[in-house]
Amino acid sequence: MKKFNAIVYARTMEFIRDRGTLFWNLLFPVVLVVGFSFAFAGGSDSLFKVGVKGQPSLQSRTFLELSSIEVIPYESDIEEVIEKIRRHQIDMLIDFDEQKYYLNDESSAAELLRILSGTELAGFQEKALTGAPIRYVDWVVPGIIGMNMLFSCMFGVGFVIVRYRKNGVLKRMKATPVSPLLFITAQMGSRFLIVLVTSIAVFTGTNLFLHFAVNGSYLLLILITMLAILCMLSFGLIFAARIKSEELASGLMNLLTFPMIIFSGVFFSLEGAPAFMQTASKFLPLTHFIEAARAVMIDGAGIIQIMPNLLILVGMTIAFLITASVLFRWE
């Protein structure tokens, strides 16, 4: 334990003394959260997702055929679709069977859609949503925190160990009594504490003036965060296993992290996206963190409801750790 604690302490102090990296991890997600909260408070989106139930009437086709409108047909229970509007997964629902349409006034798209559809839906009744509408910032904050965690874990472990290998630090560590397993777990332990503390600090700090909707347990949110951090750290270790070029490591990590951000639904819902894209997103750890965190914050879900996401994160962590341990070399 003395060796483990010494490595954890050394790595943690290395991070803290790097003031630029420290402030970047703290300020970057805060700027994104605040920026998106203002950007989507009253503006207009360039693309709207409109759900349709029933057969569209002839007079409404002009509105639905606009290039800025993405039409998504629904045949499921209308209450499920209304929940999608509350969560900003779609912007509007038109029920042609009941001659009604639904809008979320908290959405930046509501006012413009009401104007665009005014003529075609003149005889339709506008229905108020049941329950408090969810703001976009409530929906997006788990994605932003998850994205910050992903970058911190990937580059904080994978990139650093590659730099150690390039600079000859790992070669010297090989001559010490420290085993590869002890060294890797100590690196993970240090970064785990750093990412967990910064994530909680960012969430708490932004929540003081934005007041996110948190209908579930804060302890459950912390559990989800801890499992996700371990999973992302394990994923980052795969890149640190043998690569000795910082440029190659950075390129490979960027190659995977940016598509992961897009396909995991960090900023925008994948509702209406191609089926293969939605299926591919289920293989990404960031997707399961965001889904579980949003379920707890918005729906007040308990541990039973998010258990599939937690089990997948645990399974991915084990698989990534085994892969990294098999591939790892000091030199």
Question: Which of 173, 149, 153, 314 is CA-nearest to residue 240?
Answer: 153
Q: Has residue 271 been placed in a domain?
A: yes
Residue 66 lies in a domain: yes
Question: What's the whole-number mean pLDDT along residues 27-33?
Answer: 61
pLDDT tens string 261-291: 877 878 777 776 677 777 878 888 888 999 9
Domain assignment present for 214: yes
* Most confident listed range (44-58, 196-210, 253-267): 196-210
* 43 within a domain of the structure (yes/no): no
Give the residue-averaged pLDDT of 214-236.
90
Give the model confidence (pLDDT) of 286-327 as tens digits. Answer: 889 999 998 898 888 889 999 999 999 999 999 988 888 787
Domain contains 99: yes
Q: What pLDDT was estimated at residue 58?
A: 63
- Considering only residues 271 and 224, tell me which one the structure prediction assigns the higher pLDDT: 224
Q: What span, in angstroms and rounded, lies between the C-alpha atoms of 310 and 28?
A: 27
Q: Higher model confidence: residue 28 or residue 214?
A: 214
Same domain, 184 and 307: yes
Looking at the fold, whether 94 and 152 belong to one and the same domain comes out as no
Q: How many helices (H) and strands (E) does the chain have?
A: 14, 5
Specify whether the CB–CB gap between 310 and 289 falls below 8 A: no
Residue type for 50, please?
A: V
52 is a domain residue: yes
- Give the helix/strand (H/E) hosting 269: none
Residues 117 and 143 in one domain: no
Please tell me whether residues 72 and 174 are part of one structural domain: no
The predicted pLDDT at position 39 comes to: 45
- Greatest mean pLDDT range, 82-86, 92-96, 254-258: 92-96
User: What angle is formed at CA 128 by the lines to CA 208 and CA 267, rounded to 5 degrees?
Assistant: 45
pTM, whole model, 2 decimals? 0.68
Residues 150 and 178 in one domain: yes
Split at pLDDT 50, 70, 90, the class of 43 is very low
Q: Both ends of the chain: CA-CA distance in Å?
A: 25
Last residue of a domain, one of 127, 157, 178: 127
Residue 30 pLDDT > 70: no
- The pLDDT value recorded for residue 220 is 92
Please tell me the total count of domains within the chain: 2
Average the pLDDT over 257-264 and give the result: 78
Query: Do 172 and 260 belong together in one domain?
Result: yes
The per-residue pLDDT for 226 is 94
State which residues form the domain around 167.
Answer: 2-37+135-327
Task: Read off the pLDDT band of 46 (50, 70, 90).
Answer: very low
Question: Does 219 share its domain with 284?
Answer: yes
Statement to judge: residues 168 and 290 lie in one domain: yes
pLDDT at residue 243, as a whole number: 73
pLDDT tens figures, 140-183: 888 888 888 888 888 777 777 777 777 777 778 777 777 777 77
Is the separation of the CB atoms in 70 and 49 below 8 Å?
yes
pLDDT beyond 60 at 38: no
Identify the domain boundary among 71, 106, 127: 127
Give the strand pairing for 125-127 and 48-53.
unpaired
Question: In whole numbers, what is the pLDDT of the chain averaged over residues?
Answer: 78
256 located within any domain: yes
Domain of 52, CATH number, reads 3.40.190
On whether both 203 and 307 belong to a single domain, the answer is yes
What pLDDT score was predicted for residue 280? 78
Could you say which of 111, 127, 143 is where a domain stops? 127
Between these two residues, 93 and 118, which has the higher pLDDT value? 93
Indicate whether 10 and 75 sit together in one domain. no
CA-based nearest residue to 328, from 243, 249, 255: 243
Task: At 109, list the tokens.
Answer: 């798209």
Tokens of 139: 């929906």
CA distance 35 to 37: 5
Residue 11 and residue 90 in one domain: no
Domain for residue 42, yes or no? no
104 lies in the same domain as 235: no
